[in-house]
Amino acid sequence: MSAPATGQPPVDAGGGRIGLGRELGHPPRDGVSSLRFSKHSNRLLVSSWEKAVRLLDVDATNALVGAFAHKTPVLDCCFHDNDSSAFSASSDHVVRRLSFSAESSYRLGTHDGPVRCVEYSDTTGQVITGSWDRTIKCWDQRGHKLVVATAGEHVNVYDLRNMSEPQQRKSYLNSQTRCVECYPNKTGFALGSTDGRVAMDFFDQSESSLEKRYGFKCHRLTEGRVRVAYPVNAIAFHSVHGTFATGGCDGFVCTWDGENKKRLFQSPRYPTSIAALSFSKDNNLLAVASSYTYERGKIENEPGTNIFIRDVNEVEVKPRH
């Protein structure tokens, strides 16, 4: 069953049409795999299939702070404990720590397959990596909760203090998971799927919590007389309001009030698929990667890659009761 999202998205705030945002210079020349805002500043980390990780300062005239070349495509990235150091996960099986201030990098470790995702916990000092070799590795583990979406519509929830006994469950969605993001209040997580759905789930598996789980349809367009469902590639939570943004292969960004099951906002259409999203530390900016995600395979005249920075209006993210 699906709970329908309700409410009309505003297209105007304060008398003018809400635009796509300002476009940053120095975008990758190939598809964006990840965007991450720093928790300390308006610096933005960008990984891409052009075999590089870039550090951008969205407040600066010349946004490019630095870049690290890799030998193979970089599939994910995240900041370390400041806004000048980071970790990268690449298709050459290697996890790297990058220091932009020292212009140096080193191998943190390796997997037996491409490393698809990397996360850093600033409260525990842990680095967690997930690979297509079907393993998760924790570096300097001291931990808590970790959510892993796997093939076959399954979800594993780990307590990082006891990685040998994950809580295994069936995804609330019936299609392949494309993205997963934990709630800011640490009570659960949202999943985005290839069939244009988002599911809201909870760590607590009591009967009352199970009754609160739901899924809803999004990123669907009527083209001709056919209703087309587009994959949901990205989910980003607003850390204050607990609302969240989604980006899909339809080229739109939407914001949602998950608790009240309402859509709050829909952006104008971006040039191509939304590959990644990230809110800034103060939630006043939203970074949007408009980057073809090969949902239709190799095509002629592939659209370019662009990174936009949108000013976030309260009407787009604040719950309306």
User: pLDDT class for 15, splitting at 50, 70, 90?
Assistant: very low
For β-strands 306-311 and 43-48, DSSP reports them as unpaired
Dihedral angle of Cα 277, 285, 221, 315, to the nearest 10 degrees: 140
For residue 166, the model assigns a pLDDT of 82
For residue 141, the model assigns a pLDDT of 43
Averaged pLDDT for residues 197-213: 89
User: pLDDT class for 16, splitting at 50, 70, 90?
Assistant: very low
Q: How far is Cα 37 from Cα 44, in angstroms, rounded to an integer?
A: 5
Counting DSSP H helices and E strands in the chain, the numbers are 2, 28
Which ranges of the chain does DSSP label H, i.e. alpha helix?
207-212, 314-317
pLDDT more than 70, % of the chain: 92
Please write the tens of the pLDDT for every residue from 105-133. Answer: 988 889 999 999 999 987 778 899 999 99
For residue 10, the model assigns a pLDDT of 40
Whose structure tokens read 């989604």? 246
User: For residue 253, is pLDDT > 60?
Assistant: yes
Q: Is the Cβ–Cβ distance between 115 and 75 less than 8 Å?
A: yes
User: pLDDT class for 13, splitting at 50, 70, 90?
Assistant: very low
Dihedral angle of Cα 312, 35, 118, 51, to the nearest 10 degrees: 180
Listed in order, strand segments (DSSP E) in 112-210 are 115-121, 126-131, 136-139, 145-150, 154-159, 167-170, 177-182, 188-193, 197-202
In single-letter form, the type of residue at position 2 comes to: S
For residue 162, the model assigns a pLDDT of 67
The residues, any chain, with a CB within 8 Å of residue 25's CB and separated by 6 or more, are 62, 63, 64
Please write the tens of the pLDDT for every residue from 278-313. Answer: 999 999 999 999 999 988 888 888 888 999 999 999
Q: How far is Cα 224 from Cα 51, in angstroms, rounded to an integer?
A: 38
User: pLDDT class for 17, splitting at 50, 70, 90?
Assistant: very low
pLDDT more than 90, % of the chain: 64
Q: How far is Cα 187 from Cα 51, in angstroms, rounded to an integer?
A: 35
Joined together, the tokens standing for residue 264 give 């709050």
Q: How far is Cα 246 from Cα 182, in angstroms, rounded to an integer?
A: 13
Q: Is the Cβ–Cβ distance between 106 and 65 less than 8 Å?
A: no
For residue 128, the model assigns a pLDDT of 93
User: For residue 4, is pLDDT > 60?
Assistant: no
Averaged pLDDT for residues 243-264: 96
User: pLDDT class for 18, splitting at 50, 70, 90?
Assistant: low
Q: How far is Cα 56 from Cα 41, in angstroms, rounded to an integer?
A: 11
User: For residue 161, is pLDDT > 70?
Assistant: no
User: For residue 146, is pLDDT > 60?
Assistant: yes
The mean pLDDT value of the chain amounts to 88
Averaged pLDDT for residues 149-159: 82
User: pLDDT class for 7, splitting at 50, 70, 90?
Assistant: very low
